[in-house]
Amino acid sequence: MSRLKVPIFYYHSIGNQGPETLPSREFRLHLELIRDRGFTPVTFSELLTLPLDAEGDYVVLSFDDGLLDNYENAAPMLDEFGYKATFFVIPGFDDVVRWVNPKTGQWSDSEKSGFTLPFPSMNRQHRRQLHDAGMEIGCHTMNHPKLNDIPRERLANEIRQPKSLLEDQLGSDVRTFCYPKGRYNKAVLEEVATAGYLGACTTMPAYYDWKTQKLECGRFLVEDHRLFGKILEWAAPDHPWTQPLCTALRVPLKLKNTLF
C-alpha cells in the first residue's frame, strides 16, 4: 500500500525588501520546523524517483525565478541545516533586474512607473555554485512567459532551449520544470514531455502522492510558519484535513491565476 505523501513548498524572494519577499527570520523558522518534525528535504527530481512505499517523512523546498537573493540569503541557511532544494531558474534573465510595485505586489521584467523595488537575478556562475553544492537546478523557461498565451511554435524556445543551455553550463541533466505563474495547457504538457523532463511543478496546492501526475505536481506557497507547520502535520497519509485544505486553497489561487 502506498504511504508516500509529500508537501512541496515554493518560494520566490528570501530576505530582500518589500512585501513580496519572505523575511530571512521566517524562512529560518520553516527550516527549524522541518528539523524538529523529523522531515528529510529532498530535491524535486529525487522525490519523483522515490518508491511509493518509501518509509520516512519527506519534504521538497523549491524556489522560482532564479532571484539573486535565493543564492545570497536562502542557500547559506540551507547549507547550515544540511538541506537540499530545487531552484527553478530563468537563464534568459541572467543578471537582469526585475521590479516590484510595492502597492500592488505585481512584478515587472523591466523598470517602469510604480515599480520601485529591484530584485536582481542570478547568473550562470551562481547556478553552477548551487549545483556544485548539491542543489538541483530546474528550468523555469527561457524568458518567463505565460506558456498558455504564446504560439505553439514558440514553446520549444521556452521549454527545450533553456534545458539544453543549462545542461551545457552545468555538465549534468536538467530533469525538472516549473510553469511560470502556473500557466499551462495540453500543448504545453506535450512539449514538456517531449523535451524529456521527468516532472513539472504547478502552483496549485496539493500533496505529492500515488495519484499525482508527474507533469502536474502541486505545491504550497506558505509564508506563515504556523501554517507551514500544519501542512507538515497534515502530511500524515491518513490525515482527514488534507483534501479540505487543498480544496479551500485552490479556489483563490485559480482566481488569481485567471486575473493576472
Report if residue 45 sits inside a domain: yes
What's this model's pTM, rounded to 2 decimal places? 0.92
User: In this structure, is residue 231 part of a structural domain?
Assistant: yes
Does residue 221 belong to any structural domain of this protein?
Answer: yes
Query: C-alpha grid cell for residue 2?
Result: 502506498
Q: Is residue 156 part of a domain?
A: yes
Residue (of 257, 131, 152) closest to 205 by Cα position:
257
Residue 1 lies in a domain: no
pLDDT in tens, 164-178: 999 999 999 999 999
Asked if residue 163 belongs to a domain, the reply is yes
For residue 12, give its domain range. Answer: 8-259
In a domain, 2, yes or no: no
Q: What is the mean pLDDT of residues 82-110?
A: 92
The C-alpha atoms of residue 48 and residue 52 are separated, in whole angstroms, by 9
CATH number for 60: 3.20.20.370
Structural domain tally of the chain? 1
- Is there a domain that residue 3 lies in? no
The whole-angstrom separation of Cα 66 and Cα 165 is 15
Q: Which tens digit of pLDDT belongs to each residue from 124-163?
A: 999 999 999 999 999 999 999 999 999 999 999 999 999 9
Q: pLDDT tens, 3-27? A: 899 999 999 999 998 878 999 999 9
The tens digit of pLDDT for each residue in 183-208 reads: 999 999 999 999 999 999 999 999 99
Confidence of residue 254 (pLDDT cuts 50, 70, 90): very low
